[in-house]
Amino acid sequence: MKIIVTGCKGQLGTEIIKQLREGRSELGPLPEKLMNATVIPVDLPELDITNYKMVDDFIRRQRPDVIINCAAFTNVDGCEVNHDAAFKANAIGPRNLAQAATKTGARLVHVSTDYVFSGRENGGIPQDEATIPGPISAYGSTKLMGEKYVEQFCHRHFIVRTAWLYSYYGKNFVKTIVNAGRKFGKLEVVNDQCGNPTNAVDLAHEILQLCVTHEYGLYHCTGEGICSWYDFASEIIRLSGVDATVAPCTSEEYKSKHPDSADRPKWSALDNRMLRCTVGNDVRDWKDALACFFEHWDGDNGMK
Residue positions annotated with a catalytic role: 139
Peptide bond into 265 cis (omega under 30): no
Distance CA 86, CA 74 (A): 8
CA distance 56 to 53: 5
In three-state secondary structure terms, 149 is helix
CB 160 within 8 A of CB 195: no
Q: Tell me how far apart the alpha carbons of residues 63 and 78 are, in angstroms, rounded to a whole number.
A: 34
DSSP H or E stretch at residue 4: strand 2-6
Backbone angles phi and psi of 120, in degrees to 5: -100, -5
CA atoms lying within 13 Å on the CB side of residue 185: 0
DSSP of 207-241, one letter per residue?
Answer: HHHHTTS---EEEE---BS-EEHHHHHHHHHHHHT
Closest CA to 243 of 182, 176, 177: 182
